[in-house]
Amino acid sequence: MRDYYEVLGVGREASCGEIKKAYRRLAMEHHPDRNPDDPESEEKFKEASNAYKVLSDDQERAHYDRFGHQGLGAGSGGFQGFNGVDDIFSAFGDLFGDLFAGRGRGGGRRRAQRGADLRMDVRLSFAEAVHGIEKEIQVARDVPCSACSGSGAKPGTRPQACETCEGKGQVLHSQGFFVIQTTCPTCRGQGSIIREPCNDCRGRGVEPEQTTLNINVPAGVDDGQTLRLAGKGEVAPGGGPPGHLYVVLHVEPDARFVRDGDDILTDVHINVVIATLGGIVQVPTLGNQCESTEEVEVEAGTQPGSHIVRRGEGIKRLQGRGHGDHIVRFIVDVPTKLSKRERELMEELAQEMGEDIAEPRRIFQRKRRRR
């Protein structure tokens, strides 16, 4: 299988606009309507369309850049190639306007309507977002009618080709030198007429269903990101390709970690003794579903707000190799209450260091007398 960038004739750093321009040129050159009964051109048309479908999608392109063709289809909704030319017309019809909607082999081509896209929200714990998880979700969507197999016609019958548009779904109107193409008013663009509708779906060809789907949430996702499950949306009436399901992820915060991209920040409270003399403290880490701890050394003389960086101990990068960093910041806690013995020791330390520890009230009175 050829490299997708090679197929489109662009570099790996090409912008979205350059990729779109390259695909449009190749697709128009090898379009089946311009090359009737030419299997080689049709294959090149499909190859270019597969390449554009992947490289025009940021998430799919990132997977492809990292893993190549093996990375496509590895997760939920991964693109695995178009099944046929009609699928390409359905996906990219708006990109070429009349080129895809109009002239086709045999006098015309009816573009199949794609099913509706769906959206649902899924909540994740912080640990699930960091380490990834397979989740089971319930989706209410339209699926092909079980009684008529999605045709919309009563069992034992089938839809009839529309006589007005001859099955094309489009009609042409001449106005002087111009020819205008519009949706057929009889079949409303379907290309067929159902004489005897199915009793179960009333001719729609679809019925509602509660579906259970398993989604693979990759490690490293962040709050607000979206997973696309291709073809898991609603089925279109009339047998068109299904829409997509978009899963919006909502990640719950964790009081122990603050996320900044692929890096995480953890505040660790230490007392003045540890900050002064140094020591060992336990720090929460991302291991074992964010339940692990590691010993971290505090250097003598650590100042409030000082930090250390645990390289590569942050969150896995979604669109690259390796992990971010874990930044541990030290918060020095000053005691507000001391025992008698603790105060005596602090006073001895102050005397040793030459510090004046007179009561604040006495210091204030002393200043007033000087005035």
* Cα–Cα distance measured from residue 216 to residue 45, given in angstroms and rounded to the nearest whole number: 32
**Cα–Cα distance measured from residue 347 to residue 337, given in angstroms and rounded to the nearest whole number:** 14
Q: Are 327 and 354 within one domain?
A: no
In a domain, 125, yes or no: no
Q: What is the DSSP letter of 236?
A: P
Report DSSP letters for 108-149, one per residue.
--PPPPPPPPEEEEEEE-HHHHHH-EEEEEEEEEEEE-TTTT
Residues 329 and 358 in one domain: no
**Domain annotation covers residue 309:** yes
Which tokens in the block code for residue 307? 């930090």
| 228 in a structural domain | no
Q: Rounded distance, CA 245 to CA 233, Å?
A: 5
Residue 1 has pLDDT above 60, yes or no: yes
327 closest CA partner among 290, 284, 292: 284
Domains in the chain, number: 3
Q: Within this chain, do residues 298 and 366 fall inside the same structural domain, yes or no?
A: no
Farthest CA pair distance, the chain: 111
Instruction: Pick the most confident of 18-32, 36-50, 325-339, 353-367.
Output: 325-339
Give the helix/strand (H/E) hosting 323: none
**116 lies in some domain:** no
For 175, the 3-state DSSP assignment is strand
Domain of 307, CATH number, reads: 2.60.260.20
Domain match, 59 and 7 both? yes
Q: Domain check: are 362 and 320 in the same one?
A: no
Mean pLDDT of 47-60: 87
Q: 368 lies in which domain range?
A: 343-371
pLDDT digits (tens, 9 = 90+) for 178-212: 677 788 888 887 788 888 999 998 888 888 889 89
Residue 88 lies in a domain: yes
pTM of the model: 0.60
CA distance 188 to 191: 8
pLDDT at 365 over 60: no
- Give yes or no for residue 313 having a pLDDT over 90: yes
Q: CB of 172 within 8 A of CB of 178?
A: no
Chain-centre distance for alpha carbon 33: 35
The string of pLDDT tens digits covering residues 145-170 is 889 888 888 998 988 888 888 888 88
What pLDDT, on a 0 to 100 scale, did the predictor assign at position 71?
63
The last residue of one of the domains, among 84, 111, 138, is: 111
Determine the pLDDT at residue 102.
42
44-70 b/e with 16+ CB inside 10 Å = b?
A: bbbbbbbbbbbbebebbbebbbeeeee
Closest residue by Cα to residue 280 from 259, 296, 262, 300: 296
Last residue of a domain, one of 92, 111, 130: 111
Same domain for 367 and 267: no
Mean pLDDT calculated for residue range 268-276? 95
pLDDT at 91: 62
Residue 99 lies in a domain: yes
Cα gap 68→66, rounded to integer Å: 6
348 with 295, same domain?
Answer: no
Torsion of CA 182, 184, 189, 193, to 10 degrees: -170
Among 111, 135, 154, which residue terminates a domain?
Answer: 111
Q: What is the mean pLDDT of the chain?
A: 84
Q: What is the CATH number of the domain that holds 75?
A: 1.10.287.110
Q: What is the per-residue pLDDT for 312?
A: 95
Please give the average per-residue pLDDT across 305-310, as a whole number.
Answer: 96
Interatomic CA distance for residues 184 and 15, integer angstroms? 39
Residue 5 belongs to a domain: yes
Contact by Cβ (8 Å): 160, 192: yes
Q: Are residues 9 and 88 in the same domain?
A: yes
pLDDT-based confidence at 131, cuts 50/70/90? very high
Q: Could you tell me if 274 and 368 lie in one domain?
A: no
pLDDT of 89 over the 80 cut: no
For residue 339, pLDDT over 90 is answered with yes
Residue 119, in any domain of the structure? no
Rounded to an integer, what distance in angstroms lies between the CA atom of residue 346 and that of residue 368?
Answer: 28
pLDDT tens per residue across span 109-127: 445 567 889 999 999 999 9
Distance CA 126, CA 159 (A): 52
* 70-74, 158-162, 271-275: the lowest-pLDDT one: 70-74
